[in-house]
Amino acid sequence: MISQGPFPAYNSMILWQAWHWAAPGLFLDSCVDIIGGYAVTPHSRPYMALIKGKEYCGGALIKENWVLTAAHCKIKVVLGAHSLSKKEKEQQTFKIARPISFPCFNNQTKENDIMLLQLQQRAKINRAVKTIKIPNTDTDPKPGTKCQVAGWGITKNQERTPSDILREVNITIIDRKICNDQNHYNYNPMITMNMVCAGDENGGKDSCDGDSGGPLICNGELKGITSFGRAKKCGTPQYPGVYARLTKKHLLWIKQTIGGDID
What 3-state class would DSSP assign to 107?
coil
Q: Are 34 and 153 in contact (CB under 8 A)?
A: yes
49-87 burial, b if ≥16 CB within 10 A, otherwise e? bbbbbebbbbbbbbbebbbbbbbbbbbebbbbbbebeee
pLDDT at 34: 80
The question of whether 82 is a catalytic residue gets the answer no
pLDDT at 53: 79
List, in order of start, the domains of the chain with CATH numbers.
38-258 (2.40.10.10)
Annotated catalytic residue: which of 101, 163, 212, 227?
212
Q: Are 212 and 31 in contact (CB under 8 A)?
A: yes
Q: CB burial class (10 A; 0-12, 13-18, 19+) of residue 249? A: middle
Q: CB burial class (10 A; 0-12, 13-18, 19+) of residue 211? A: buried
The question of whether 20 is a catalytic residue gets the answer no
Q: Which residues are CB-contacts of 72 (< 8 A; sequence separation ≥ 6)?
A: 2, 20, 27, 30, 31, 57, 107, 113, 115, 212
What 3-state class would DSSP assign to 30?
coil
Q: Are 191 and 168 in contact (CB under 8 A)?
A: no
Residues of the chain with pLDDT under 70: 1-33, 260-263
The question of whether 212 is a catalytic residue gets the answer yes
User: Residue 197 and residue 119: Cα distance in Å, rounded?
Assistant: 30
Angle at the Cα of 80 (from 76 to 81), degrees rounded to 5? 70
User: Residue 46 and residue 249: Cα distance in Å, rounded?
Assistant: 27
pLDDT at 200: 94
Q: Are 222 and 213 in contact (CB under 8 A)?
A: no
Q: Which residues are CB-contacts of 139 (< 8 A; sequence separation ≥ 6)?
A: 223
Annotated catalytic residue: which of 72, 82, 184, 250?
72
Annotated catalytic residue: which of 33, 113, 200, 206?
113
pLDDT at 260: 61
User: Residue 226 and residue 55: Cα distance in Å, rounded?
Assistant: 15
Residue 92 CB-half CA count within 13 A: 23
pLDDT at 1: 56
Q: Are 30 and 213 in contact (CB under 8 A)?
A: no
Which residues pair with residue 261 across a beta bridge? Answer: none
